[in-house]
Structure 1
Amino acid sequence: MSGEDSECMERKKVYVARDLSNLRVVDFPLWKIQTLAQLGDEAFAAKMLVASAGDPFDTSTPESALGDLHELEEEAGAAFDPSQWVLLSDESGEIGVVLPQVSDADPRSGILSYLAVMPARRGHGLGRQLHQFGLQRLKELGAVNYRGSTDAENAAMLAIFRANSCRVDPVHG
């Protein structure tokens, strides 16, 4: 087993949950939404790759980005809807991507398959807002609860979870 393999095996995940019934709705009137359905797989995968740049918890490469997107699509199962996976922008440019997905097995439960802020836009609270946007989309899709996870060392994502009232999932964490 290579050192890289053992490092991956040693990583610990943190799981969170949130009841969406009391989600405070926020308006994002100046955000432009472009969907995977509009952009197509190749262009969307390229945007995801840009958003993941510098993220030590993301392993996508230019060679794997499209395959990584296809893997996420397959994992979504029959509930996959490319009109819900979005690239968000504002007057200052692209903000990031968020992939809200209701569970194939239980449409009352949702996840965000992926969330990333463009490198030039990091450090300004936009990750929290992207996450909030994704939670709202899940609620609009009929989800009543959210489940998320991240690497235990991913301080930025853990802060986003806390800011959006996510709690450690008692089932997993």
Structure 2
Amino acid sequence: MNLFTIIKNQQEYWLVDQIKKDGIPKEEYLQQLLQILEEWDHLEIGYLSLLMDERFENWLLQKKFCKISSIAEYTRKLDNLPEIDDQIVWHSLSEGLLDDAEYGKLYDLCRLGSANKNTKQPMDQVMNSLKNELGPEWRDHCYYFTKDDALTGISIPHIEIRTEDEGRLFYFGVVPHLRGQGIGEKIHKISLMLLKKFLANYYVGSTDVNNSYMIKIFEKNGCELRDRKGIYKIVRSKP
């Protein structure tokens, strides 16, 4: 039984997320995580980022993890979706109206001033992650949004790896000068609709517990708090 999902980015990093299941002893989670850590270290991967229940925190700190922050996880079934704002226009990168480099610049702009405390990767790594994790048709999932022909933000809806109907947003963001004007809520609504078109039945989103802006968007669009996890990171020791 897999108790963790793992996204592997070549030799650079692994992203590991605990799958919470009822009735699983704490020791079973730790045993499986130890196996993951042994393989990660053996393969000499740069670092490992972990999302895990904070009740394991003391054990993780003893294993030389450092705590980055905590995230709140929200969920919503993708039926009875709210009406979208017809003033917001969206396009996918695959339409060819924006090239990859321009999309990368817009993505980077949307990251400025984020309340999320996770370490930001260089944009070339982010774009490579998109290609690796979303597959050959990755541009079909990369959306950008405009209002009155001005770029307002981006969203990257997709089906979570190893699931058939769990909708996620690889990233969601609004350009800095338009934040606090309701644009984020409108783009998020459209993103939920796009997830449904990708055949997702429900949505799971997460953000830093201190990101009140994103939490308000979740709540306004009918999402409910599902869980809370710590973000932990370990870097492989150099020989």
TM exceeding 0.5:
yes
SS of 2:158's equivalent in the other structure is strand
Alignment of 1:73-152 (within 5 A): 73-77=131-135, 81-91=138-148, 93-152=150-209
> 2 CA distance for matches of 1:92 and 1:125?
17
Question: How big is each residue's C-alpha offset from its partner over 1:21-65, in whole Å with a ceiling of 9 and x where there is no partner?
Answer: 222342x4333323222233322111101112222426547xx11
Letter of the 1:166 partner, please give it. Answer: C
> 1 CA distance for matches of 2:131 and 2:225?
26
- Any gaps of 5 or more consecutive residues in structure 1? 1-5
Shift of 1:171: 9.0
Question: How big is each residue's C-alpha offset from its partner over 1:57-109, in whole Å with a ceiling of 9 and x where there is no partner?
Answer: 26547xx112112213323357x541231110011611100111112322311
> 2 CA distance for matches of 1:166 and 1:52?
23
In structure 1, the partner of 2:80 is 22
- Report whether the alignment pairs 1:35 with 2:92: yes
> 2 CA distance for matches of 1:69 and 1:107?
24
Identical-pair percentage? 25
Q: CA RMSD in A?
A: 2.6
> 2 CA distance for matches of 1:24 and 1:30?
15
- Matched residues, number: 164
Contact 1:42 1:66 in 2 (8 A): no
- Any gaps of 5 or more consecutive residues in structure 2? 1-63, 231-239
More strand by share: 2
Q: Which moved more, 1:104-113 or 1:157-166?
A: 104-113
In structure 1, the partner of 2:215 is 158
In structure 2, the partner of 1:3 is none
Distance 1:59 1:97, change over 3 A: farther
- Report whether the alignment pairs 1:47 with 2:106: yes
SS of 1:71's equivalent in the other structure is helix
